Amino acid sequence: KSGFSKDIIVVPHGHDPAVFKKMDRAEILKKPEWKSFPKDKFVFGFVGGWAQGENDRKDLGLALRAYCKVFKKDDPVLFVVKVNMAYNPALNLADAIAALNLPKPCPDIIAFTDDMSDESRAELYNLMDAHVMPTRGEAFGLTMLEAMACGTPNIATAWGGQTDFLNGENSWLIGGEFRKATDAHVMYEGVNWCFPSEDSFAAAMRDAFMDRDKLGERAQQGLIDAKCWTWNASAVKLLEVLNRKP
């Protein structure tokens, strides 16, 4: 169907285990840059691009609606949003979130738009209890791997490149229905995406919050599984491909 007559060999992305690793949360919170970060809350997070609001492939809006659906203002929870502004430098994130018309009063949400080094992003993953990514389609899903390598389990869509390394033992995977892609870019012409279930995401977020044993088990499995997905492993795979005889 692709038009290629030869096998396609996939060389995956990876992470740097010297950076993206499990850290001591208490030690991170001692650093000046994190001194105002809320403590003693269960932290959900989203790290990724979000350039087109409700039409965006990452669907941050669904994550925030699901969060507001199952938690109240006085619940000990927090949702942290870190958006990669490279995809839309002119985006006013506060206005874009306000345009979602989330119910009020909603539980706490904080957002970061400043550039972060890999090291700072790794610290942010470590400050999360669960990383939420209701993506409609991924080639790989690098932020989900980075979160997993930091001991933070994912709640993610059960379709896309991330399912190469996410599974029911290390994550919560959520199904959905296939519909026409909402991005008008020519690269998505004739493409269907998987639109995940908001109710199922909400249920998974509640499950992660309520069942800390399950959360811990999936975090530990993720740490084990992430060891196979490093940039060194990617380089070895690439060398194998380059050294193959025609």
Model confidence pLDDT, tens digit, residues 21-35:
999 999 999 999 999
Q: pTM of this prediction?
A: 0.95
Name the DSSP letter for residue 15.
Answer: B
Query: Looking at the predicted structure, is the pLDDT value of residue 6 above 80?
Result: no
Residues belonging to the chain: 246
For residue 118, give the 3-state DSSP assignment.
helix
Query: Looking at the predicted structure, is the pLDDT value of residue 154 above 70?
Result: yes
What is residue 246's predicted lDDT score, i.e. its pLDDT?
Answer: 74
Cα 207 from chain centroid? 17
Give the integer Cα–Cα distance in Å for 136 and 158.
9
Q: Which one has a higher pLDDT value, 8 or 56?
A: 56
Give, in degrees to the nearest 5, the angle at Cα 204 between 132 and 150.
40
Cα 28 from chain centroid? 21
Name the DSSP letter for residue 169.
Answer: T
One-letter amino acid identity for 12? P
Identify the band that residue 9 occupies on the pLDDT scale cut at 50, 70 and 90. Answer: confident
> pLDDT tens-digit profile of 203-215?
999 999 999 999 9
H-helix segments, 134-230: 142-149, 198-210, 212-226
